[in-house]
Chains A and B, each alone.
Chain A
Amino acid sequence: SAVISQKPSRDICQRGTSLTIQCQVDSQVTMMFWYRQQPGQSLTLIATANQGSEATYESGFVIDKFPISRPNLTFSTLTVSNMSPEDSSIYLCSVANSASYEQYFGPGTRLTVT
């Protein structure tokens, strides 16, 4: 499976600020997904990022709050904008190829908003 890294691994941010999380893969992948996992909870899909097209957001998540970039087949960013304490969570990227079924996760970014 692909080697997936995320930066930063954790951060503590002030409310009202923004944080950009990076996801890097060591091989080209068709699809990249961004999930949120609140403490003790399951994984909730924020959006799907295709290279060369706009991200597709799930219900309850909007582009103004979570802008996503996907400039190439190995990299994506998720920005958490105008943060509030409710945004404190783990943010994970996952990757997949359209020719196969499996999705693999990055190590996650633990965000705390104070």
Chain B
Amino acid sequence: GENVEQHPSTLSVQEGDSAVIKCTYSDSASNYFPWYKQELGKRPQLIIDIRSNVGEKKDQRIAVTLNKTAKHFSLHITETQPEDSAVYFCAASRGFGNEKLTFGTGTRLTIIP
């Protein structure tokens, strides 16, 4: 089955700096890669996703890149703000919503004011 590895497990950055979280996956049939943000005591929230026919996707301060050949994808957050502090999870699946997600182990991001 699919295996998703995520690094780093913790990340601290100064407010205003950029943060990068990286994930690798093992199943070459995976073609959908969402990122979830989970604040303390809250549900995971989908913040951005990318499909395998796209190499990069941006939404304001966040972007995701995908390298299918290397089987890795990354989350980039620019101009970080205190409200970006949370645990971020990457995930992978084989496609449409009827396919299960396999999650990475999570990255605890702390923004230092």
Interface set of A (CB-CB < 8 Å, partner B): 1, 30-31, 33, 41-45, 48, 58-59, 92, 94, 96-108
Contact = CB atoms under 8 A, between A and B. Distances in A.
B55 interface: no
Contacts, number: 64
A42 B32 contact: no
A102 B34 contact: yes
Given A42-B89, A42-B105, A103 B97 contact: yes
Counting contact residues on chain B (CB < 8 A from A), the size range is 20 to 34
Contact of B49 (A58, A99, A101): A101
Interface of B: 1, 32, 34, 36, 42-46, 49, 51, 89, 93, 95-98, 100-106
Contacts of A92: 43-44
Contact of B103 (A42, A59, A100): A42
B43 A98 contact: no
16 contacts: A1-B46, A30-B97, A42-B104, A45-B100, A92-B43, A92-B44, A98-B97, A99-B96, A100-B96, A101-B51, A102-B34, A102-B49, A102-B97, A103-B97, A105-B43, A108-B43
A6 to B, nearest CB: 9
**Chain B contact surface mostly:** loop
Contacts of B34: 101-103
A94 B103 CA distance: 13
A101 B32 contact: yes
User: Which of A41, A58, A99, A102 has the most chain B CB atoms closer than 10 A to its own CB?
Assistant: A102
A101 B105 contact: no
B101 to A, nearest CB: 6
A39 to B, nearest CB: 11
A42 B107 CA distance: 10
